[in-house]
Amino acid sequence: MAKNHQTFACQSCGAVYNRWRGRCEACNGWNTIVEETGAASPVSGPVATRPSRARGRIFPLEGLTGEVKEAPRTSSGIAELDRVTGGGFVRGSVILLGGDPGIGKSTLLMQASAALAKRGERVAYISGEEAVGQVRLRAERLGLASAPVELAAETNVEDIIATLSQGKPPALAIIDSIQTMWTETVESAPGTVTQVRGSAQSLIRFAKTSGTAVILVGHVTKDGQIAGPRVVEHMVDAVASFEGDQGHHFRILRAVKNRFGPTDEIGVFEMTDGGLAEVPNPSALFLAGRDLAAPGTAVFAGMEGTRPLLVEIQALVAPSALGMPRRAVVGWDPNRLSMVLAVLEAHGGIRLGGHDVYLNVAGGLRISEPAADLAVAAALVSSLSGAALPSDAVYFGEVGLSGAVRPVAQAPARLKEAQKLGFAKALMPQGREGAGRDGSGTGFPAESLRHIADLVAGVAASGKPVRGGRRQPQRLPAYDDEDL
C-alpha cells in the first residue's frame, strides 16, 4: 500500500517544501503555502523492474528538410483572435487565457466557439463555474443560441476526457476554468497547486493525442498575473492575456507566449450590447476625441507586435506643495518615467524636482516599449512650458541616460501608420539608415533629433519659454469695473 506523505506547496508559484513556512522563498509571497497530501509512488513492482534504457528513435536534423510543414490551423472566424494566435488554432495545441473577472473572457470564447460550430466543426464548451442554463442565457443575449455548440457543466477531468473522446474529436474544447477542475489521481482539494497541475497535464495529454485545440481559462491575481502555479504557463503552447479597463469600452487580447506564432501581438475589441466587436483600426479609436490645442499631449507612434499603433500620451506637471513631489503613472512603467525625468533635469536644463508629475496613456492602453521615451519627454516639456505641441506630429524614440535619442526598430511601419491617419510630420531619432527628411525612405517628412536638448529647444521655441523649470505666469481674463 502506498504511504501517504505530507508536502507544503505555494499557491502562487508552485514551490514545494517539506514543512510549513510563512513566506515562500521562490516568489516572496506571504501566507501562500498550503499543506497538501498525496500518495507516494511505490518503489517496487513492475516500475522498479522496468529497464532504464531508452528505446526512442533519434532523427538527424538534416534529414527532416522535406518533412517539415507548417502546423495545421483552424480559423476561429474572428480576425483579431486569429491575429493573436498566429493565424488560427493549431490542432493539438493548448492555450491558457487569463483576465480580470468580468472583462469578457467567456463572451469572447462563446463567440469564437459559435463561429466555429456554424461552420460544421464540433465544439465543446465545458463550464466549471456556471450551470448549463447560465451559459445558454449568455448565448441568447449574444444572439448565438442557434449555434450547435455542445455545453456541459462538469469539473471532473476524467469524465470530461471520456465524454470528449466519444465520436469525432472536437476541433475546439474550452475549459472554463482550470482552477475549478479536479482529477481523481490527486488527493487534494480543487484549486490547489497539485490539482491545477494534474488537471492541466491530463487535458494537455488529451489535446496532443486527439488533435483537439484546448483553451484553458485561468483566473488572475491582484497584480494581473495568472493565478496558480507558473509551471502551467510552461506546459501550455500559448499564453494570452485579456486586458482592459471596465471604465473603457474596448478590450485588448495580448499574446504573452506562443510556440506557433509571434509574441507580443495584440487584438483590439470593443465591448458593445451585442458582445465583443472587432476594431480594425485601433489607432483611430485611441486618438478619437483628443484636444488638439491642449499642452501636455503628444502622439506616440508605437508597435504592438507587427501592428503599428498611435496613442496619445498625456502629461500634467504642476507645482507641488509637498516635500516629496508625487509621481503618478497610468499605462507606463513608473521606473521609466523616473529615468526620463532625471535625463530632462540633467541634460535638458529643466527643473522638475518641485513639481508633481502625472502621466497617462489615453484609452487605458499599457505601453512597454522604450520607444515611448521621446513622446513622454515631449509631453512633459509641453505641460511644463504651457506650449501645445503640433497636432499633426508624432513622436517616437528611445532616450538614453546621456540624453542621446537612440533609434528604434520598425520606423517605416510607424511612419506609414501616421501618414495613413493624416499626420504630416514625425520627430524621431537619426536612424541607422539615415532618416533625414524622408523618414527612412518612406517619403514622410521627418525631423531627426540627436539629443534631448534639441527637443526642449524646439518645444520652448514654439510657445512660452522655459526658464528655470517653471511655467511663466499667465494673465487670466478679468472684468473691468465698468463691466460690473
In angstroms, how far is CA 55 from the centroid of its own chain?
42
Number of helices (H) and strands (E), helices first, in the chain?
A: 12, 23
- Helices 373-385, 452-462: crossing angle, 10 deg rounding: 40
Asked whether 327 and 337 are in contact (CB, 8 A), the reply is: yes
DSSP string, 316-385: EEEE--SSS--EEEESS-HHHHHHHHHHHHHHS----TTEEEEEEEGGG-----GGGHHHHHHHHHHHHH
Provide CB contacts within 8 A for 435, sequence distance 6+: 411, 428, 429, 446, 448
Q: Which three cell numbers stand for residue 76?
A: 476561429
Burial 264-277 (b: 16+ CB within 10 A, else e): bbbbbbebeeebbe
Checking phi first, is residue 86 left (phi over 0); if not, alpha (psi -120 to 50) or beta? Answer: left
- CB neighbours of residue 163 within 10 Å: 15
Q: Helix, strand, or coil here: 417?
A: helix
How far, in Å, are 51, 295, 421 from residue 451 at the CA level? 67, 22, 28
Which residues are annotated binding-site positions for ATP? 99-106
Distance CA 176, CA 179 (A): 8
Distance CA 379, CA 459 (A): 10
Asked whether 331 and 314 are in contact (CB, 8 A), the reply is: no
Burial 222-243 (b: 16+ CB within 10 A, else e): eeebbbbbeebbeebbbbbbbb
Enter the DSSP assignment of 166. S
For residue 242, report the phi and psi dihedrals to the nearest 5 degrees. Answer: -100, 110
Q: Helix, strand, or coil here: 159?
A: helix
How far, in Å, are 102, 144, 159, 291, 320 from residue 126 at the CA level? 18, 17, 11, 47, 54
Nearest Cα to Cα of residue 354 among 195, 196, 192, 471: 471
Distance CA 139, CA 40 (A): 45
Which residues are annotated binding-site positions? 99-106
Q: Helix, strand, or coil here: 429?
A: strand
